[in-house]
Structure 1
Amino acid sequence: MVGLLPLTLVLFSWGPFVNAGSVNYGNPCSVGNQKLEFGTYQFQTDCDSTTFCNSSGLCDHKGCRKDEYPFGYPKNSDFPPRCDSGLFCPDEEDQCLPVLAVGSACQFDRDDECEGPPNFKDLADKTGYGLNVNGSVCLNNVCMWANATLGNTCVVENTAYTVYSSSNESIDIVSRDNCSPGLYCDSQHMVCMQMKNLGDSCDADKECSTFNCLASGVCGKSADSPEHVAFWVYIIVGVCIFGGMLATLIGMYCFHRGHRQAEREKRLQYWREQNAFRQNIMQMQETARHSIMSLPGGGPNSPRSTLYNRDGTQSEDSQIPMLNPQSKSSALRHQLSDDGFDDGSQESIMIQRVDRKDSNRF
């Protein structure tokens, strides 16, 4: 059947050209083109999603809606009303109609079109799988009540839906019946039987109370049942989370500690360089002091002795000019001699300024 499906689809589409679902309001349409799409069984018509084809052969505004949020309407548009209790909106969505009695003709898979039984609260589907609507069911286009009891004769409707996947297409058969809740209709014997429990052998989903017959042929857990894990899994996950947090903190501490150590080494090296530079300056000052004191005429009373104190610091009287016409200072950049000018002459004043500048360098 699966291999013949593409050819079947082609055959169903072969025929008069119909631009289905594209005719706007007021334009002509054909009621004869209304049908259910093969494979999905969706209702198709010539008119667009907001209109229906009336008896006059024109697309008219819909008079009711089946869904809470209908498809195809523009944003902020007014939806047609929903039908009140005791009424239903057909596939054409032209107007609300009274619900149908048992045995009446109904549209495909429209359980809501059928009138509910007096004990509809007991027969209503509570599983959420759409077995019936308020205890009423539409099977083979006939309204029935889902009240067949255990061992009694039942009615089955098997519908093949086309299922499309990313790689291929397949057939999914949906079987519905009129058995009471907790029962299913056996397709071979056509009698209602008790649903099977978890782990029992099965041939179809409808046989299991969980509506999930596994490929291994046993009833499995419901497809929407939550997954429960063992308590030790929570313990392992918690330990991994806290272990990851602790490892992150330790790694950050080690990383920043190395960074701080590198910065500390840089500051220590800078301090050592500055200290060595200071020691070199002090050594140069000491060398210059000894060099000046070792010159002839140098002594405690010599003008040169006033450059430094005994503790090696520069004296406040170091600004006194050093004039010795007979001596030569190897530490000074200028060599001064006495040419017979007295201290008050201009040349003497210039020499004193030069000596003062040289003495400030030390």
Structure 2
Amino acid sequence: MLSSAVLAVLTAIPSSSAAVSIGTACSTNHDRLDAITGKLYSDCDDTAFCSGSTNATCQPRVCRRDEFPFGFGNATAVPTLCKDGTYCPDEGSGCKALVGVGLPCQVERDEQCAPPPNWQDIASSWNNNGSVCLKSMCTRYANMTLGQPCISDVVSYADGASTIARHNCQTPRFYCHSGFAVCVPTKALGLPCESNEECQSITCGSQGMCVDPPGTPIHVKAWHFVITGLSVIATMCAIVVMLTLFHKRQRLKRYQEIREFYDEQVELRRSLAALHAAAADRYDEKGRYD
């Protein structure tokens, strides 16, 4: 299975095959795999294949291997998918029967190999129903266990930017050790690694440690919920206390302003009363004097 980096390269790099029309002469000798993307190119465009020894012309593709094949527009008829027990080759020349052990297969096309009788016991995301195509050959399934000899197939894409190592060890329990060519146990999360197949999670992080694959749901522990809940409650209580204190402070300030206002009014009335009394006394004294 190609990594996300390889898929990005496949969508970013345009097809280098000549856009020839159906019925144009071609030669299967020109069929080749792109060294950067691993994509099959021929004399025909992405909607056709070279019929080779039949009449050596470009013919419409008869089958497809992907749900949404590359190169087909809305107006172009999309070929059908192959039924169970058959496969569609890279060139799309037509559905073929699955290949037995020891027979050739196309690069990284595990689905071209026939599965073993006990495929449910050894099937994983790193093979197709327990079958693997290594070094363009259907091997004896992905069933090698601890200490048993294994076959490793390393393919680089995008000029070495992405490297995929595949093997016939039983995954994800074991991987093929590059130095001893035997199956050894895969590594748990947090252990050092050099490539994805070394990890039980099938993901070796950028720091050289086995990590969870991208998109893995985060499992929160119970004490995380407790701490989070207590933190939320404490924050809410702190906000309520702060708002209460702020409100009380505002009320106290308003109360002091009103009290000062009334004190000023009372003092003013007292001053007016004293002034009125003093004026009245002076008037009485003046009247008696006259």
TM-score over 0.5 (shorter chain): yes
Check if 1:142 corresponds to 2:141. no
Which residue matches 2:123?
124
CA contact (8 A) 1:64 1:93 kept: yes
Higher RCO structure, 1 or 2 (CA under 8 Å, sep 6+): 2
Bigger Rg, which one: 1
* Identity rate, percent: 36
8 Å Cα contact 2:16/2:41 also seen in 1: no
Given the alignment of the two structures, is residue 203 of structure 1 paired with residue 199 of structure 2, yes or no? Answer: no
Summarize the Cα distance change of 1:220–1:80 in structure 2 as closer, same or farther, 3 Å threshold: closer
Q: Which of these residues, 22, 28, 31, is aligned with residue 31 of structure 1?
A: 28
The offset of 1:141, in angstroms, is 0.4
Matching residue of 1:282:
none
1:184 aligns with 2:175: yes
Moved more, 72-81 or 200-209: 72-81
- How large is the RMSD of aligned CA atoms in angstroms? 3.0
The structural deviation recorded for 1:120 is 0.7
Q: For 1:201 and 1:88, locate their aligned partners in 2 and report how far apart those are by CA, in whole Å.
A: 38
- Deviation, structure 1 residue 233: 5.0
So what's the TM-score if we normalise by structure 2? 0.67
Determine the C-alpha separation between the residues in 2 that align with 1:52 and 1:121: 35
Q: 1:57 and 1:236, CA in 2 relative to 1: closer, same or farther beyond 3 A?
A: farther
Q: Aligned runs of 1:164-175 on 2, under 5 Å?
A: 171-175=161-165
2:72 matched to 1:73? yes
Q: CA deviation at 1:216?
A: 4.3
The one-letter code of the counterpart of 1:47 is C
Out of 127, 150, 153, the residue aligned to residue 157 of structure 1 is 153
Say which SS state the counterpart of residue 193 (structure 1) adopts.
Answer: strand
What are the equivalent positions in structure 2 for 1:87-126 lying under 5 Å apart? 87-125=86-124
**In the aligned structure 2, how far is the partner of 1:186 from the partner of 1:75?**
47
- Going from structure 1 to structure 2, the CA distance change for 1:58 and 1:221 (only over 3 Å counts) comes to same
**CA drift at 1:77:** 4.3
Runs of at least 5 residues in structure 2 that lack an aligned partner in the other structure: 1-14, 244-290
Deviations, residues 145-166 of structure 1 (Å, cap 9, x unaligned): 1111211000001111117xxx
Residue 237 of structure 1: how far off its partner (Å): 7.3
For residues 234 and 58 of structure 1, what CA distance do their matches in structure 2 show? 70
CA pair 237-162 structure 1, distance change in 2 beyond 3 A: farther
Query: Does the 8 Å CA contact 1:116/1:135 hold for their aligned counterparts?
Result: yes
* CA distance in structure 2 between the partners assigned to 1:234 and 1:39 by the alignment: 51
SS in 1 for 2:100: coil
Q: Deviations over 1:120-162 (max 9, x none)?
A: 111111xx4xx11010000000001111121100000111111
Change (3 A) 1:27 1:209: same
Q: What is the deviation of 1:193?
A: 0.8
Query: Is contact 1:21–1:44 with CA below 8 Å preserved after alignment?
Result: no
Give the equivalent residue in structure 1 for 2:17.
Answer: 20
Q: Which segments of 5 or more consecutive residues in structure 1 lack a partner in the other structure?
A: 1-17, 164-169, 248-362
- Measured at CA, do residues 73 and 196 of structure 1 come closer, stay the same or move farther in structure 2, by a change above 3 Å? same
Q: Give the equivalent residue in structure 2 for 1:224.
A: 215
8 A contact 1:23–1:29 mirrored in 2: no
What's the CA shift for 1:228?
Answer: 5.2
Distance 1:220 1:19 in 2: 37
Deviation at 1:81, TM superposition (A): 1.8
